[in-house]
A and B are shown apart, each in its own frame.
Chain A
Amino acid sequence: DAGVIQSPRHEVTEMGQEVTLRCKPISGHNSLFWYRQTMMRGLELLIYFNNNVPIDDSGMPEDRFSAKMPNASFSTLKIQPSEPRDSAVYFCASSSVAGGPNNEQFFGPGTRLTVL
């Protein structure tokens, strides 16, 4: 099992540019989570999908952020336009159970985003 796959692993861009982060969850998992990790704010949940449907996007910081899950094996997180304060490590995680005691989340290696 390849685990959760994220690409790119590192992204450096200039303020105002569009950034797209990609995630492939573990095959068979029906829940997908996007997190942002910074020194100041720790680990924050941005959005949660269940069976490809966004269930809770209350953590998405602004309208500049959007996420999609067109099928069970792919999700994107887009920032347009990007700003320096978006610099962080973005994690994707997947789970085989939506909630409940067996909701162990499997995390990808993360994408380190730097916006100059």
Chain B
Amino acid sequence: AQSVTQLDSQVPVFEEAPVELRCNYSSSVSVYLFWYVQYPNQGLQLLLKYLSGSTLVKGINGFEAEFNKSQTSFHLRKPSVHISDTAEYFCALLRAGGFKTIFGAGTRLFVKA
């Protein structure tokens, strides 16, 4: 079975500061990894995804994530956040060949002025 653990439920940060949202996963088979963002009162939208190849993945809005197989992690980073980045962020995985995306519990990023 696969699982996703987001280590922080809330992350407050000041505007223009760097941020890292942590995600660990568990799987005995190959998986694809995703980060989705949910703005208030909206559905989720894809930020970035790791399929294979380079372990550093760049996404929209200046976010990037690094796949670390030995540590089974897929942490999301941004060097300088904006107020508009305030949202909930979900780490997710999909078993290779599967259809069921498994979502983490979410991390609420709150950017303060």
Contacts and interface: CB of A to CB of B under 8 A. Distances in A.
Interface stretch (A11-19, A66-74, A77-85, A102-110): A102-110
A103 B99 contact: yes
Contact of A101 (B32, B44, B99, B106): B32
B10 interface: no
Contacts, number: 55
Given A43-B90, A101-B51, A56 B100 contact: yes
B49 A104 contact: yes
Contacts of A100: 97
A116 interface: no
Nearest to A59: B100
Interface string A83-116: 0000000010100001111011111111000000
Nearest to B44: A107
Interface string B69-101: 000000000000000000000100010111111
A48 B100 contact: yes
Given A101-B51, A103-B94, A104-B49, A109 B42 contact: yes
Contacts of A60: none
Nearest to B46: A104
A34 B41 CA distance: 17
B57 interface: no
Nearest to B106: A42
Interface of A: 4, 31, 42-43, 45, 48, 50, 55-56, 91, 93, 98-101, 103-110
The 8 A-B pairs with the shortest beta carbon distances in the complex, nearest first, are A107-B43, A99-B99, A101-B51, A43-B103, A107-B44, A42-B105, A104-B46, A101-B32
